[in-house]
Amino acid sequence: MQVSYHGHSVVRVKTDTHTILIDPFISGNEQCDLDAQTVEADVILLTHGHNDHVGDTIEIAKRNQALVVAPNELADYLAGKGLNAHNMHIGGAHEFDFGKVKLTQAFHGSSYEEEDGTIVYTGMPAGILLTIDGKTIYHMGDTALYTDLKMYGEMNDIDLVFIPIGDNFTMGPEDALIAADWVKAKTVVPIHYDTFPVIKQDADAFAKNVKTGKGKKMEIGETIEL
């Protein structure tokens, strides 16, 4: 299984049978090396409804006839746009043909701004525990630090975690280091930083300061083998 990082919170997982995109914010994301017009996906996983996470989901899903897995209200909204959406909610898990998805808490907000400025409420934000072939990836989405992260670390053998470090909208580096200690992942990768001036951070310093697991700043387009 190949896991690659593509700026902001965009992660791609490739298995022998599926290509999975998480939070595909591509258009308007100067960090991203993917092309929304050509990127392939069998499955799109979404943490919440903010535009910098839903991104190009509608276009990509329609072009690829991809399955979209999202928190309940967001899935309803996207189904209304003609997408094949699977509704989930926090604490729930489901076995798909590509692997197991479980949604965790994320302390944040969730709404989608349409082109005319209309704000659509899209339910509760979430993190994603994705387990494929015995390997578990935890994409924390956008979240603050909260103590239940200890429980997720105790309940799951997490191989790779993507932790937001940008501050202002999510945890900053100091809180993210605590989260890394609690989650106990083998590899810790910072996300959700540098995309906008207000979330500019030193990801190299964060990675070096990770004590539990191996901290790793992934370059744009870099791949990890699991």
pLDDT digits (tens, 9 = 90+) for 94-148: 999 999 999 999 999 999 999 999 999 999 999 999 999 999 999 999 999 999 9
pLDDT in tens, 150-185: 999 999 999 999 999 999 999 999 999 999 999 999
CATH classification at residue 160: 3.60.15.10
- At residue 69, the pLDDT reads 98
CA-to-CA separations, 142 to 77, 97, 160, 219, in angstroms, rounded: 20, 26, 16, 20
What is the domain count for the chain?
1
- At residue 135, the pLDDT reads 98
Helix (H, G, I), strand (E, B) or coil at 139: strand
- Checking DSSP bridges between strand 93-95 and strand 84-88, what pairing results, if any? unpaired
Burial of 202 (0-12, 13-18, 19+ CB in 10 A): middle
- At residue 74, the pLDDT reads 98
pTM for the model: 0.97
- Domain of residue 212: give its range: 2-225
Helix (H, G, I), strand (E, B) or coil at 34: coil
